[in-house]
Amino acid sequence: MGAAAIPLGVGFSIAQTGHTEPRLDRAIQRFQAQLSRKTGVPLVPLPENPTRVRLTIHTDHASEPVQRLGEDESYTLQVTDAGVTLSAPTPLGAMHGLQTLLQLVTISAPGFVVPEANIQDSPRFPWRGLMIDSSRHFIPLKVIERNLDGMEHVKLNVFHWHLSDNQGFRAESKRFPQLQEHGSDGLFYTQDEIRALIAYARDRGIRVVPEFDVPGHSTAWFVGYPELASGPGPYQIERRWGIFDPAVDPTSENSYRFLDVLFGEMAKLFPDQFFHVGGDEVNGKQWDANPKIQQYMREHGIKDNAALQAYFNKRLQPIVAKHGKTMIGWDEVLDPSLPKDITIQSWRGAESLAEAAKGGYRGLLSSGWYLDLGWSAARHYAVDPMGESSTSLTGEEQRRILGGEACMWMEYADDETVDSRIWPRNAAIAERLWSPREVRDTASMYRRLGLVSHDLEFLGLTHNSYYEPMLQRIAGPATPEQLTALRTLADVVEPVKNYDREKARTAEPTRFTPLTRIVDTVHLESDAGRLFSDAVDAYLGSSCRDANLAARLRTQLSAWSANDATFQTLAPQSSLAQEAAATSKDLSAIGQVGLEALSYLEKGQAAPPEFKQQTEVVQRATEPKGQLLLVPAPAVSRLVDAAASGGNCTAK
């Protein structure tokens, strides 16, 4: 703690100098409420209380009426015993500075303080986004709003709103009302709601880029407008997950007339410069099966479906441009015949980002940042838009890499769980996009991530608070001991990674499948599992001489070893708990084996040769069951290996 840490108490005055505007006033009010919530101290300026902290906010001039890519976001923040000074060229930077200040505030022995600081800050990349898929599971606006609050806190500045897909068309069109009337089950955002959300985002320094995905991922459009499709129909809203055949007919002039009117309407509704047209995962089956399309391709020398999609995009781009927008699409739209002012969002691999930049196109990275795949924060944190594929780029080509976006696809998340699927891991991605490339220490990242995670809860995100009610739902009328056993197990399991949930399924999931199972309840990254693994490594690295660490590991392993006896009394009472019965047995088995390994290691004694057979027990526990991964199993395996190799701790 710096010597100049300022105590925070009742009485907190804020003065503004230079330019101001209403959204900065609102940001300041919000900041005061957030700070009060974080500290529990009512930080209102009261005449009867002496002012203890003075925050002065200065901005030079107005920000752009519609937030622009590359607009100045910088700020400086100084905390000395004289007070806090925040200055920025525009309110946009000042708003970022307020969130930094909120993060700095911490408890200390004398109470809450603002630590001494001297920060000059600006982002590494101008495009730092989060995509949320509102189609597969519709998400109420209040859920999106609180995620925008989270984005503001970690200085993300683009909300990419995936508004249409096979499973739903979610934006109201007044020109083509059958899009939402037939394609959304009544679950769509009205234009007034969309305008309000855009204003909400702007208040938080966030641009809103809409995506209307064509020509594939568009079944929901065809329920109301089957004439747009390349196959005969009729169409129904898709309830399953996957890649489907329906696609817009790229050879019909009617398709372009329709898209011109619709995109014109949406271009007015969404003020941002960029307009996302999707373009991913067109399987071409409807095109292959349609003789009229095949004939058109022959007559126009279009040699295959990729060329047909390029033709479609070449027709689409001038439509988007006519409505004043810059077209952006997933990396499938990349084709050298397209004009250079389109932007590519790379999701299939970072190579396409470098390829786009070399070809003269601007690009964004999303490959490596799919939040729904369940990767650890560390793994996401290691991904960089200027990664290996980009090192060979010239300076000019590198400048075409605008940044990136985390993506939250909603097959396996709904409004109850979505925050937990995004946060806190998304904060690690946000830091990668904001901070210098050299800031890459994972241990430091996890320490800060824990703190940010708590701050996000105070902002109203539910990524931690969702957990107990979901455990309670699984446990039903359980005893406190049974609930504890369920929690002990759930704390150390994660869903299988990537798309393995698809592979291991027993029945085809749909939009109506409840997301209430243990696999839906557990965190995507187990803190308890990670901390145990770190403790095992620290213990083995200390020549197994650290008695405190040994005691910590023993406490943990003993609890796991005993857990299954109680869990098995719960399992027959709950279909949802039942699914984890095998994993629970595994947890107790690795607890037991881990305790044995630990006792050999503590005695410095070689385990008898037959102990090596325990490797198989642990190995079996590493295999997923019920779509669940038992996170501590590999760490226990390291303990067993060390014990079996004669107590050979690494640093001996």
Instruction: Just list the catalytic residues.
Output: 281
Residues of the shown chain interacting with ligand ACM in the complex, contacts defined by CB under 6 A: 280-281, 330, 347
CB 347 → ligand ACM: shortest distance, Å?
Answer: 4
Tell me which residue has its CB nearest to ligand ACM.
Answer: 280
If the CB atoms of residues 473 and 497 are measured against ligand ACM, the closer one turns out to be 497
CB 405 → ligand ACM: shortest distance, Å?
Answer: 11
CB 137 → ligand ACM: shortest distance, Å?
Answer: 16
Tell me, what DSSP letter sits at residue 63? Answer: P
If the CB atoms of residues 132 and 461 are measured against ligand ACM, the closer one turns out to be 132
The CA distance from 435 to 183, in Å, is: 41
Strands (E), 355-400: 362-365
CB 365 → ligand ACM: shortest distance, Å?
Answer: 13
Three-class SS state of 139: coil
The CA distance from 473 to 475, in Å, is: 6
Taking the mean position of all CA atoms in its chain, how far away is CA 464? 15
If the CB atoms of residues 145 and 281 are measured against ligand ACM, the closer one turns out to be 281
CB 628 → ligand ACM: shortest distance, Å?
Answer: 24
Structure tokens, 259: 């898209």
The CA distance from 313 to 329, in Å, is: 9
If the CB atoms of residues 330 and 600 are measured against ligand ACM, the closer one turns out to be 330
- CA-based end-to-end distance of the chain: 37
- Encode 223-290 in three state secondary structure: HHCHHHECCCCCCCCCCECCCCCCCECCCCHHHHHHHHHHHHHHHHHCCCCEEECCCCCCCCHHHHCC
Name the maximum alpha-carbon separation found in the chain: 84
DSSP for 420-443, please give it.
HHHTTHHHHHHHHHHS-TT---HH
CB 443 → ligand ACM: shortest distance, Å?
Answer: 31
- Encode 591-606 in three state secondary structure: HHHHHHHHHHHHHCCC
Beta-carbon neighbour count of residue 516 at 10 Å?
15
Task: Yes or no: say if 607 and 600 are a contact pair by the CB < 8 Å rule.
Answer: yes
Q: Hey, what long-range contacts does 31-38 have (CB within 8 A, 24 or more apart)?
A: 31/98, 31/99, 31/101, 31/102, 34/102, 34/458, 34/459, 35/8, 35/102, 35/105, 37/458, 37/459, 38/102, 38/105, 38/455, 38/458
Taking the mean position of all CA atoms in its chain, how far away is CA 440? 19
CB 281 → ligand ACM: shortest distance, Å?
Answer: 5
The CA distance from 287 to 491, in Å, is: 48
The per-type count for the chain, helices as H runs and strands as E runs, is 26, 19
If the CB atoms of residues 209 and 571 are measured against ligand ACM, the closer one turns out to be 209
CB 206 → ligand ACM: shortest distance, Å?
Answer: 21
DSSP for 388-414, please give it.
GGGTTS-HHHHHTEEEEEEEE--TT--
Q: Which residue type occupies 240?
A: R
CB 161 → ligand ACM: shortest distance, Å?
Answer: 14
> Cis (ω within 30 of 0) for the bond into 436?
no
Residue 37: half-sphere exposure toward Cβ, Cα within 13 Å: 15
CB 280 → ligand ACM: shortest distance, Å?
Answer: 4
Structure tokens, 9: 């108490």
If the CB atoms of residues 156 and 407 are measured against ligand ACM, the closer one turns out to be 407
